[in-house]
Protein backbone atom coordinates (compact mmCIF):
# COMPACT_ATOMS: atom_id res chain seq x y z
CA UNK A 1 0.00 0.00 0.00
CA UNK A 2 1.45 3.31 -1.05
CA UNK A 3 1.64 6.15 1.45
CA UNK A 4 0.29 9.54 0.43
CA UNK A 5 2.91 12.26 0.25
CA UNK A 6 2.65 14.88 2.97
CA UNK A 7 0.71 12.64 5.37
CA UNK A 8 3.58 12.64 7.92
CA UNK A 9 3.78 16.41 7.94
CA UNK A 10 0.00 16.77 8.17
CA UNK A 11 -0.13 14.38 11.11
CA UNK A 12 2.70 16.26 12.86
CA UNK A 13 0.95 19.57 12.27
CA UNK A 14 -2.32 18.23 13.72
CA UNK A 15 -0.54 17.01 16.84
CA UNK A 16 1.13 20.37 17.30
CA UNK A 17 -2.19 22.21 17.09
CA UNK A 18 -3.72 19.79 19.59
CA UNK A 19 -0.85 20.44 22.00
CA UNK A 20 -1.28 24.21 21.62
CA UNK A 21 -4.99 23.92 22.51
CA UNK A 22 -4.31 21.82 25.63
CA UNK A 23 -4.59 24.00 28.78
CA UNK A 24 -1.21 24.44 30.42
CA UNK A 25 -0.47 23.22 33.91
CA UNK A 26 -0.29 25.87 36.61
CA UNK A 27 3.29 26.60 37.56
CA UNK A 28 4.30 25.23 40.95
CA UNK A 29 4.44 28.04 43.50
CA UNK A 30 7.88 28.93 44.84
CA UNK A 31 6.48 28.89 48.39
CA UNK A 32 4.79 25.51 48.03
CA UNK A 33 8.11 23.96 49.08
CA UNK A 34 8.29 23.56 52.92
CA UNK A 35 12.02 24.38 53.08
CA UNK A 36 11.53 27.60 51.14
CA UNK A 37 8.60 28.48 53.39
CA UNK A 38 10.89 28.14 56.42
CA UNK A 39 13.65 30.21 54.80
CA UNK A 40 11.22 32.97 53.79
CA UNK A 41 9.68 32.96 57.26
CA UNK A 42 13.16 33.26 58.80
CA UNK A 43 14.08 36.20 56.55
CA UNK A 44 10.94 38.15 57.42
CA UNK A 45 11.90 37.77 61.10
CA UNK A 46 15.67 38.30 60.56
CA UNK A 47 15.86 40.62 57.53
CA UNK A 48 19.33 41.23 56.07
CA UNK A 49 20.81 38.11 57.67
CA UNK A 50 23.95 36.84 55.96
CA UNK A 51 24.39 33.41 54.41
CA UNK A 52 26.49 31.69 57.10
CA UNK A 53 24.20 33.02 59.87
CA UNK A 54 21.09 31.66 58.13
CA UNK A 55 22.86 28.32 57.69
CA UNK A 56 23.81 28.21 61.38
CA UNK A 57 20.39 29.25 62.70
CA UNK A 58 18.43 26.96 60.38
CA UNK A 59 20.84 24.00 60.64
CA UNK A 60 20.93 23.86 56.84
CA UNK A 61 23.97 23.47 54.60
CA UNK A 62 25.24 26.46 52.62
CA UNK A 63 24.71 24.66 49.30
CA UNK A 64 21.10 23.76 50.11
CA UNK A 65 20.41 27.34 51.22
CA UNK A 66 21.95 28.81 48.08
CA UNK A 67 19.73 26.66 45.87
CA UNK A 68 16.52 27.57 47.69
CA UNK A 69 17.48 31.25 47.98
CA UNK A 70 18.06 31.35 44.24
CA UNK A 71 14.53 29.98 43.71
CA UNK A 72 13.10 32.58 46.10
CA UNK A 73 14.91 35.32 44.18
CA UNK A 74 13.67 34.01 40.83
CA UNK A 75 10.14 33.95 42.24
CA UNK A 76 10.34 37.60 43.32
CA UNK A 77 10.16 36.93 47.05
CA UNK A 78 13.73 37.64 48.15
CA UNK A 79 16.60 39.92 47.18
CA UNK A 80 20.34 39.50 47.67
CA UNK A 81 22.85 42.25 48.39
CA UNK A 82 26.55 42.33 49.29
CA UNK A 83 28.11 44.35 52.08
CA UNK A 84 31.84 43.85 52.42
CA UNK A 85 32.39 40.10 52.46
CA UNK A 86 28.79 39.36 53.43
CA UNK A 87 26.03 38.08 51.16
CA UNK A 88 22.80 39.23 52.77
CA UNK A 89 19.16 38.42 52.00
CA UNK A 90 15.87 40.15 52.69
CA UNK A 91 12.23 39.92 51.57
CA UNK A 92 11.08 42.05 48.65
CA UNK A 93 8.91 45.03 49.73
CA UNK A 94 9.66 44.50 53.44
CA UNK A 95 13.01 46.30 53.56
CA UNK A 96 13.85 49.65 51.96
CA UNK A 97 17.33 50.67 50.82
CA UNK A 98 17.83 52.85 53.90
CA UNK A 99 17.21 49.83 56.16
CA UNK A 100 19.67 47.42 54.57
CA UNK A 101 22.97 48.42 56.16
CA UNK A 102 21.73 49.04 59.73
CA UNK A 103 19.72 45.80 59.73
CA UNK A 104 22.80 43.97 58.49
CA UNK A 105 24.81 45.36 61.42
CA UNK A 106 22.23 44.11 63.91
CA UNK A 107 22.57 40.59 62.50
CA UNK A 108 26.29 40.55 63.34
CA UNK A 109 26.83 39.06 66.78
CA UNK A 110 29.06 41.68 68.47
CA UNK A 111 27.13 44.59 66.99
CA UNK A 112 23.86 43.04 68.08
CA UNK A 113 25.11 42.49 71.64
CA UNK A 114 26.49 46.02 71.97
CA UNK A 115 23.38 47.64 70.52
CA UNK A 116 21.13 45.62 72.83
CA UNK A 117 23.17 46.71 75.87
CA UNK A 118 22.97 50.37 74.88
CA UNK A 119 19.31 50.17 73.87
CA UNK A 120 18.15 48.72 77.17
CA UNK A 121 20.85 50.17 79.45
CA UNK A 122 21.51 53.64 78.02
CA UNK A 123 24.50 55.56 79.34
CA UNK A 124 26.96 52.66 79.39
CA UNK A 125 30.66 53.34 78.87
CA UNK A 126 32.85 51.45 76.41
CA UNK A 127 34.28 49.32 79.23
CA UNK A 128 30.78 48.63 80.57
CA UNK A 129 29.64 47.48 77.13
CA UNK A 130 32.58 45.12 76.65
CA UNK A 131 32.20 43.65 80.13
CA UNK A 132 28.42 43.20 79.94
CA UNK A 133 28.59 41.62 76.47
CA UNK A 134 31.60 39.48 77.42
CA UNK A 135 33.65 40.58 74.42
CA UNK A 136 37.05 42.22 74.12
CA UNK A 137 37.38 46.00 74.31
CA UNK A 138 38.77 46.05 70.76
CA UNK A 139 35.67 44.18 69.50
CA UNK A 140 33.45 46.63 71.38
CA UNK A 141 35.32 49.58 69.84
CA UNK A 142 34.74 48.20 66.32
CA UNK A 143 31.05 47.52 66.91
CA UNK A 144 30.41 50.91 68.52
CA UNK A 145 32.26 52.69 65.71
CA UNK A 146 30.09 50.95 63.08
CA UNK A 147 26.86 51.60 64.99
CA UNK A 148 27.76 55.29 65.38
CA UNK A 149 28.62 55.56 61.69
CA UNK A 150 25.11 54.33 60.85
CA UNK A 151 23.63 56.74 63.42
CA UNK A 152 22.07 53.94 65.47
CA UNK A 153 23.79 55.15 68.65
CA UNK A 154 25.20 58.44 69.87
CA UNK A 155 27.59 59.42 72.64
CA UNK A 156 28.11 62.17 75.21
CA UNK A 157 31.18 63.10 77.23
CA UNK A 158 30.86 62.56 80.97
CA UNK A 159 34.10 63.64 82.62
CA UNK A 160 36.72 61.09 81.61
CA UNK A 161 34.06 58.70 80.29
CA UNK A 162 32.17 58.60 77.02
CA UNK A 163 28.66 57.24 77.45
CA UNK A 164 26.49 55.76 74.73
CA UNK A 165 22.76 56.09 74.00
CA UNK A 166 20.31 54.99 71.29
CA UNK A 167 19.99 57.65 68.61
CA UNK A 168 16.83 59.50 67.61
CA UNK A 169 17.05 57.75 64.22
CA UNK A 170 15.64 54.54 65.71
CA UNK A 171 12.17 56.03 66.20
CA UNK A 172 12.14 57.31 62.63
CA UNK A 173 13.02 53.85 61.28
CA UNK A 174 10.24 52.29 63.36
CA UNK A 175 7.65 54.81 62.15
CA UNK A 176 8.57 54.28 58.49
CA UNK A 177 8.20 50.52 58.98
CA UNK A 178 4.80 51.07 60.61
CA UNK A 179 3.63 52.95 57.52
CA UNK A 180 4.64 50.07 55.19
CA UNK A 181 3.20 47.20 57.22
CA UNK A 182 -0.28 46.93 55.66
CA UNK A 183 1.07 47.38 52.13
CA UNK A 184 3.56 44.55 52.59
CA UNK A 185 0.94 42.13 53.92
CA UNK A 186 -1.48 43.01 51.10
CA UNK A 187 1.25 42.50 48.48
CA UNK A 188 2.30 39.15 49.97
CA UNK A 189 -1.27 37.79 50.18
CA UNK A 190 -2.03 38.83 46.60
CA UNK A 191 1.20 37.27 45.30
CA UNK A 192 0.58 34.00 47.12
CA UNK A 193 -3.05 33.90 45.95
CA UNK A 194 -1.97 34.42 42.34
CA UNK A 195 0.23 31.34 42.69
CA UNK A 196 -2.64 29.22 43.99
CA UNK A 197 -1.61 29.06 47.65
CA UNK A 198 -5.02 30.14 49.02
CA UNK A 199 -3.51 32.32 51.80
CA UNK A 200 -5.62 33.59 54.69
CA UNK A 201 -4.55 35.79 57.59
CA UNK A 202 -5.31 33.77 60.72
CA UNK A 203 -3.84 36.26 63.19
CA UNK A 204 -2.24 39.68 62.93
CA UNK A 205 -0.53 41.25 65.89
CA UNK A 206 2.26 43.72 65.16
CA UNK A 207 4.96 42.95 64.28
CA UNK A 208 3.88 39.52 62.92
CA UNK A 209 1.06 37.81 61.07
CA UNK A 210 0.18 34.13 60.87
CA UNK A 211 -0.95 33.12 57.38
CA UNK A 212 -2.60 29.79 56.61
CA UNK A 213 -1.64 28.24 53.29
CA UNK A 214 -3.29 25.52 51.19
CA UNK A 215 -1.75 24.00 48.09
CA UNK A 216 -3.01 20.95 46.20
CA UNK A 217 -4.62 19.48 49.29
CA UNK A 218 -1.72 20.17 51.65
CA UNK A 219 -2.17 22.75 54.41
CA UNK A 220 0.31 24.70 56.52
CA UNK A 221 1.02 28.12 57.93
CA UNK A 222 3.63 30.86 57.85
CA UNK A 223 4.59 33.18 60.70
CA UNK A 224 5.64 36.32 58.85
CA UNK A 225 7.36 39.40 60.20
CA UNK A 226 5.61 42.52 58.89
CA UNK A 227 7.75 45.23 60.42
CA UNK A 228 11.55 44.75 60.30
CA UNK A 229 12.45 47.28 62.98
CA UNK A 230 9.82 46.23 65.51
CA UNK A 231 10.70 42.58 64.84
CA UNK A 232 14.42 43.13 65.34
CA UNK A 233 14.06 45.32 68.43
CA UNK A 234 11.59 42.88 69.99
CA UNK A 235 14.11 40.06 69.53
CA UNK A 236 16.74 42.11 71.40
CA UNK A 237 14.65 42.50 74.57
Annotated domain spans of the chain: 30-236
Confidence of residue 235 (pLDDT cuts 50, 70, 90): confident
With a cut of 50, say whether residue 178 has pLDDT above it. yes
- Distance CA(14)–CA(9), nearest Å, equals 9
The fold adopted by the segment(s) 30-236 is Arc Repressor Mutant, subunit A (1.10.10)
Q: What is the pTM of this model?
A: 0.85
- Report which of 237, 222, 176 is spatially closest to residue 45, judged by C-alpha positions: 222
With a cut of 50, say whether residue 18 has pLDDT above it. no
Confidence of residue 133 (pLDDT cuts 50, 70, 90): very high
* Average pLDDT of the residues of the chain: 89
Amino acid sequence: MTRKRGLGKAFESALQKKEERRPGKRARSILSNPTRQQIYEYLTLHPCAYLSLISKDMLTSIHTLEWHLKKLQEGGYVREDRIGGYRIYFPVNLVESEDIHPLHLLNRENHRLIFSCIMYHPGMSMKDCASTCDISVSSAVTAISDLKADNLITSVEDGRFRRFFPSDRIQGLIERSDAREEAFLKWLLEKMAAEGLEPETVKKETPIAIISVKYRGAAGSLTVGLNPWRTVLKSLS
